[in-house]
Amino acid sequence: MIKERYIEWLLRSGALQFGEFKTKSGRLSPYFFNTGHIDSGERLGAVSALYAEAIAEHFGATVQNLFGPAYKGIPLAVLTSYQLTQRLGRDISYTFNRKEAKDHGEGGNLVGRLYRGGEKVVVVEDVITGGTSFGEIMPLLATYNVEVVGAIVGVDRQERGSGAQSARSEVANRWKIPVVSLVTIHEVVERLVQREVLGKVWIDAATKQRIDGYLATYAGSTDP
């Protein structure tokens, strides 16, 4: 299963850590997903193959382009477009944005395939927490008149967005797109709690208690 393989990849690469971490939103989380550990060809190759498999399953009939938001979405979109091209047997392009628009050369704030309008795009992200990044991504893509057919994230932390709903549900409802994850935090916990994986018990009783407390405070309402 993709979920189990992705969890093992997170552990092997060190991208999943347990302890106490301050998130971008200022919350103190007992776990942290650091995809900055996608720092080698082997690691990127392994994770992009999983993304490609999931995209092919959920969006394979329509996808034409992958959009990777700067910065962590960039390598994911680039190599996943290659993996997906091999899997689907047709060319899949990639595009990513600059944080600041280029004022020389070709100019603009996009790199890769420049949109002409009408492209069927899947947004590729590493983690969804509060969903705030989509508030920047979706209006940007709308200016190019592309059709966003969905989004895929590596990990859904299942935390609430601006309201009571989970961020994933909020993004899906606001932008009218399906949002798929390779794994959710509940699936990670279910797989790892009090079980030895790769020669180690990653979530013991004390860690599980901290995770339960955190989710009781910050989890969004159950997704439809």
Q: 162-178: per-residue pLDDT in tens? A: 889 999 999 999 999 99
Q: Which of 99, 104, 176, 200 is catalytic?
A: 104
* CATH architecture group of domain 2-218: 3-Layer(aba) Sandwich (3.40)
3-state secondary structure string across 110-171: EEECCCCCCCEEEEEEEEECCCCCHHHHHHHHHCCCCEEEEEEEEEECCEECCCCEEHHHHH
Nearest residue to 83 (alpha-carbon basis) of 54, 49, 58, 60: 49
Q: For residue 35, what pLDDT is reported?
A: 83
Burial class (CB in 10 A: 0-12, 13-18, 19+), 223: middle
Residue burial 34-46, b: 16+ Cβ < 10 Å; e: rest: bbebbeeeebbeb
CA atoms within 13 A on the CB side of 37: 14
Read off the pTM.
0.93
| Catalytic pick among 3, 58, 102, 186 | 102
Please tell me the distance from the alpha carbon of residue 159 to that of residue 54, in angstroms, as a whole number. 22
Residue type, 210: R
The token pair at 209 is 């208690």
Inter-residue contact 18 to 201 (CB < 8 Å):
no
The list of the chain residues with pLDDT below 70 reads: 100-107, 222-224
Q: How much is the pLDDT for 224?
A: 44
Tell the residue number behind the tokens 């994911």, with chain if given: 76
Residue 58 appears among annotated catalytic residues: no
Q: Which of 150, 142, 179, 128 is nearest to 64 (CA)?
A: 150
Termini Cα distance of the chain: 23
186 flagged as catalytic: no
pLDDT of residue 222: 59
pLDDT tens readout for residues 173-219: 999 999 999 999 999 999 999 999 999 999 999 999 999 999 999 99
| C-alpha to C-alpha distances, 79 to 40, 92, 143, 181, nearest whole angstrom | 12, 11, 25, 18
